[in-house]
Amino acid sequence: MPIARWGLPTLEVIWGVLTFCQSRVANVYQLYALRFLVGVAEAPVFAGTHFILGKFPHLKKEELFKRAGTWFLCNALGTMFSGYLQTAAYTNLNGVGGLSGWRWLFVIDGIITIPIAFIGFFVFPGIPQSPKTTFFSDEEIEYSKKRLRDNGTVRPGKVNLDVFKRTLKRWHIWVFMLAYVCLINSSYPSGYMSLWLKAEKFSVPQVNKLPTVISAISIVSSWLGTTLAAIYPSWAIFAIPTISGIFSATCMTVWNIPKPLMFIAWYAYGLQGCLSPILYSIVNVVLRDDAEERAVVISAMMTAGYSTYIWVPLLLFPTLDAPRWKKGWPTGIAFYSGLFFLFCLSLVLFRRDEKIKERERQSQSQRSHNLDEEDVVSDIAGKVPQNVEIATTAKDID
């Protein structure tokens, strides 16, 4: 499957070129057009990465959780780094070469993105069935394929109409899709601490730097949360960031609270860093036996989540009301509650399905055992009369 090997690095190159172009826009409409194209290049990366994380062999659940946690850790690290980068660009490059600080930011982002994207053509592994990378030996690739077989992970096939039909008949797509809608909309305001800081008259460097603490906490949460979720019940670990999200949304709903408590409420949003990697890891675990359905479900989660992400914030978090969103903050409580309910529901349904499969396997094994016994009896019954007849004939000859 060459697309798994080359597709994501190609999208990253396009992404980087479009980032460069944004530094030269002459009006807001050009920026709108480029941001749309960036979204087209960006959208498959998230879903594609998680599909490959789940498709690459893992014998133990903790391996999958750690991979997802590491990916999200780097994501949060990039977000945190961008805050310091914005501060540096504004402070040191504003006006240099006739370019504003925000234009230099796109230039620097492009310089970082494109070389890394080209490195991806040499080091990105794709899946075990993809063309060989430069650093995997034939023995390592065969070992990966063996682990897939041992884990019962099915090789992906073609996504056709039958795949969509069976996917829509099962609970996976509906529960996971709604869960991601709750997740992505509940996390929306966590990226706008800067609006509150501006309203509180903090300086520009402080507005750029102070929100990076959320990203720092998210880094720790991504690593620690996924590690613990592989050891302890995943629902218990998942409860920690959802409860903290409810706490933060409640504080924002009340609003008139001491400033230190407001900082705690903002920074508590950083604990959400482990929500998405745990959720997507569970999706990969639940759907490990059906690669095509897994691809459809992950894509549907992204599509549904970001489709609502386009218009829901406009209703609940309008810019004119920022940062005192009287509708948005209470709704966040509902989103977090719904997310936790749907996550626990998916675990209950998955365990039910596993029990059904186990009973079917035992029943099939029992039927096979009974058939084997019947075959043995038939063989004996078929052979004994023949032997007796042969013996009798030999006796008669004597």
C-beta of residue 191 within 8 angstroms of C-beta of residue 212:
no
pLDDT, residue 395, reads 43
Report the number of distinct structural domains present in the chain: 1
Residue 392 clears pLDDT 50, i.e. is over it: no
Check residues 398 and 118 and name the one with the higher pLDDT: 118
Residue 385 clears pLDDT 60, i.e. is over it: no
Q: Is 56 among the domain residues?
A: yes
- Rounded to the nearest angstrom, the gap between the alpha carbon of residue 302 and the centroid of all alpha carbons in its chain is 9
Mean pLDDT of 47-58: 67
Q: What is the pTM of this model?
A: 0.75
Check residues 150 and 71 and name the one with the higher pLDDT: 71
Q: Is 156 among the domain residues?
A: yes
Residue 34 clears pLDDT 70, i.e. is over it: yes
C-beta of residue 350 within 8 angstroms of C-beta of residue 286:
yes
Q: Is 397 among the domain residues?
A: no
Residue 94 clears pLDDT 90, i.e. is over it: no
pLDDT, residue 2, reads 58
Helix H or strand E encompassing 152: none
pLDDT, residue 397, reads 35
pLDDT, residue 96, reads 84
pLDDT, residue 85, reads 77
Residue 180 clears pLDDT 90, i.e. is over it: yes
**Burial class, 284, CB count within 10 angstroms (exposed 0-12 / middle 13-18 / buried 19+):** buried
Confidence band, pLDDT 50/70/90 cuts, at residue 330: very high
Could you write out the three-class secondary structure of 88-139? HHHHHHCCHHHCCHHHHHHHHHHHHHHHHHHHHHHHCCCCCCCCCCCCCCHH
Q: Is 370 among the domain residues?
A: no
Q: Is 99 among the domain residues?
A: yes
pLDDT, residue 59, reads 47
Q: Is 86 among the domain residues?
A: yes
DSSP for 233-287 reads -HHHHHHHHHHHHHHHHHHHHH--S-HHHHHHHHHHGGGGGGHHHHHHHHHHHHT
Mean pLDDT of 251-263: 94
Confidence band, pLDDT 50/70/90 cuts, at residue 394: very low
Mean pLDDT of 75-85: 74
Q: Is 315 among the domain residues?
A: yes
Q: Is 311 among the domain residues?
A: yes
pLDDT, residue 100, reads 84
pLDDT, residue 156, reads 60
Residue 396 clears pLDDT 50, i.e. is over it: no
Please give the residue range of the domain that contains residue 113.
2-357
Most confident option among 77-86, 141-150, 206-215? 206-215
Confidence band, pLDDT 50/70/90 cuts, at residue 233: very high
pLDDT tens digit sequence for 295-321:
899 889 988 998 898 888 888 988 888
Most confident option among 73-77, 286-290, 354-358? 354-358
pLDDT tens digit sequence for 111-164:
888 898 888 888 777 666 666 666 677 777 777 777 766 665 656 667 788 889
C-beta of residue 214 within 8 angstroms of C-beta of residue 270:
yes
Q: What CATH code is carried by the domain that includes residue 231?
A: 1.20.1250.20
